[in-house]
Amino acid sequence: MDPKIFKAYDIRGIYPTQFDEDGAYKIAQGYAKFVKPKKIVLGRDVRTSGEKLWSSAARGFTDAGVDVVDVGVISTDMLYFAVANYGYDGGITISASHNPREYNGMKMVREKSIAISSDTGLNEIRDLALKGDSVKAEKPGTISKQNILDDYINHILKFIDTEKIKPLKIVLSANFGLAGKVAEKIIAQIPAKITYECLDCEPNGEFPKGRPDPLIPERRTETAELVKKTNADFGVAWDADADRCFFFNEKGEFIEGYYIVGLLAKTLLKDHKGEKILHDPRLTWATIETVKAAGGAPIMTKTGHGFIKDRMKKEDALFAGEMSAHYYFRDNWYADNGMIPFVMMLEILSVSGKKLSEILASIMNKYFVSGEINNEVKDVAMVLEEAEKIYHDGKIDKTDGLSVDYSDWRFNLRGSNTEPKIRLNVESTKKELMKTKRDELLELIEKYK
């Protein structure tokens, strides 16, 4: 087991060279020793290596005297639902999120789906797993099966009034994960006629079209073309483990998650004036303006699901959103979810009677963004230090990486928590200025490659 598989928020590595059955067993044992649960949820995503890794993790738990609830093949947000909704002591899903097919890993939570990240126990579990001390209980744990899908769908539908949904035509793109099958079952519960085309909706852990991540431009083309070809009202795409949700407007144009954060916040604030809304520091201006105009209180917080869930609980925030298309809801135990935004979008378009491009036009035409640009560099800290020297006359914030604000443009530079990369985001009230400053910062980054 390679220690590098332990990231800031989860565990991810190449199977079987970095992460294998023995590693899954030892991590389960480390979790059992650290968390001390009596009964946990154990699921897996669609990856081909998942079944073997699941079996080893299950054995690690039962050997330690922990009862395992087998919830089968699930999305990551179904793990959060199962642990919190049924009151289990914690849970793990065998998943490598949107990484390529050769990867696998683990995402884990405690009771009430409290995130376990490097700050809240993952490093301790790592150390126990690497040490390899076995935990053997006198009485082994049991394994039972539970089908959670129907309860999960009922939970998702509580976020909207299904009677308000009007007939719509949509494109679903599941990247060969579970999202397509779940979305189809949700649509079947809606009284209005929703017609849809389902792209890559048959689960396939081989991911035959490449890395299952809609943030990669080449993974958007097919969805965009299908939206245009079918004259759909909108398109929606998920990554492989379905905890992130991306939208395309009726023209087939990909909508940055940044703009969706404000739209969802505005919708939720209609019945919750004065509530707090959390957002990450990468792109901020459109969210701050939208939230304030809707009667909410925007709060900036560090990027990453562990940090955001923690802060949400402390603030009792109504909603949080990241530009990476992770959306968090107080009524979802402060956890992120990839299906709630989808059903909310059905209601938003039905109630407004407008096209998605019309709904977002005013904010998208005011704030122009670069999209996140990732580059591998030799030393992230050196890039941040140099950028701070050059842009010292701006308003500097170090909530997460380096953010610098000027009157008509701003940027955020931060190191990746999962890869040896630096991530750049630029926004401006002037399109050409955004491009100029983006290129200026990319020249700086180039020096450190």
Q: Give the Å distances, CA to CA, from 379 to 375, 383, 400.
A: 11, 7, 17
Looking at this protein, which amino acid is placed at residue 207? F
Token digits of residue 440? 């200026």
Q: Which pLDDT belongs to residue 418?
A: 63
Q: Which of 95, 97, 173, 403 is catalytic?
A: 97
Q: Packing angle between helix 21-35 and helix 50-63, nearest 10 degrees?
A: 40
Q: How far apart are CA 238 and CA 222, in angstroms?
A: 13
* Cα dihedral 323, 325, 326, 327 sign: positive
Partners of 56 in beta bridges: none
Q: How far apart are CA 149 and CA 138, in angstroms?
A: 34
| Residue 32 and residue 142 in one domain | yes
Q: Would you give the DSSP letter of residue 140?
A: -
Q: What is the CATH number of the domain that holds 141?
A: 3.40.120.10
The model's confidence at residue 8, banded by pLDDT at 50, 70 and 90, is confident
In a domain, 424, yes or no: yes
Q: How far apart are CA 94 and CA 73, in angstroms?
A: 9
Domain closes at, from 365, 396, 431: 365
Q: Which pLDDT belongs to residue 9?
A: 87
Contacting residues for 376 by C-beta, under 8 A, at least 6 apart: 419, 420, 421, 449
Q: How far apart are CA 419 and CA 295, in angstroms?
A: 37
Query: Each residue of 15-38: pLDDT tens digit?
Result: 999 999 999 999 999 999 999 999
Q: Would you give the DSSP letter of residue 233?
A: S
| Residue 395 and residue 350 in one domain | no
* Cα dihedral 211, 239, 90, 120 sign: positive
The overall average pLDDT reported for the chain is 96
Give burial (CB, 10 Å; 0-12/13-18/19+) of 88.
buried
Q: Give the chain's domain count.
A: 4
Q: How far apart are CA 98 and CA 405, in angstroms?
A: 31
Query: Each residue of 131-187: pLDDT tens digit?
Result: 998 999 999 999 999 999 999 999 999 999 999 999 999 999 999 999 999 999 999
In a domain, 342, yes or no: yes
| Residue 330 and residue 415 in one domain | no
Other CB atoms closer than 10 Å to residue 448's CB: what's the count?
16
| Residue 93 and residue 19 in one domain | yes
In a domain, 156, yes or no: no
| Residue 262 and residue 251 in one domain | no
| Residue 177 and residue 278 in one domain | no
Partners of 143 in beta bridges: 68
Active-site residue flag, 97: yes
Q: Which residues form the domain of 203?
A: 166-255
| Residue 275 and residue 325 in one domain | yes
| Residue 322 and residue 299 in one domain | yes
Q: How far apart are CA 357 and CA 355, in angstroms?
A: 5
| Residue 142 and residue 179 in one domain | no
Is 80 exceeded by the pLDDT of residue 12? yes
| Residue 144 and residue 197 in one domain | no
**Taking Cα atoms as reference points, which of 308, 264, 302 lies closest to residue 282?**
302
**Taking Cα atoms as reference points, which of 270, 219, 208 lies closest to residue 244?**
219
Looking at this protein, which amino acid is placed at residue 270? K
Identify whether the C-beta of residue 342 lies closer than 8 Å to the C-beta of residue 245.
Answer: yes
In a domain, 161, yes or no: no
At which residue do the structure tokens 């060969």 appear?
176
Query: Each residue of 49-81: pLDDT tens digit?
Result: 999 999 999 999 999 999 999 999 999 999 999
Identify the three-state secondary structure at position 177.
Answer: coil
| Residue 170 and residue 241 in one domain | yes
Domain closes at, from 307, 335, 365: 365
Query: Each residue of 349-365: pLDDT tens digit?
Result: 999 999 999 999 999 99
Q: What is the CATH number of the domain that holds 390?
A: 3.30.310.50
| Residue 439 and residue 372 in one domain | yes
Identify whether the C-beta of residue 167 lies closer than 8 Å to the C-beta of residue 193.
Answer: yes
Domain closes at, from 255, 280, 311: 255
Q: How far apart are CA 406 and CA 410, in angstroms?
A: 6
**Taking Cα atoms as reference points, which of 23, 179, 174, 198 lies closest to residue 94?**
23
**pTM for the whole thing?**
0.96
Q: b/e string for 332-356 if b means 16 or more Cβ within 10 A?
A: bbbbbbbbbbbbbbbbbbbeeeeeb
Q: How far apart are CA 125 and CA 131, in angstroms?
A: 10
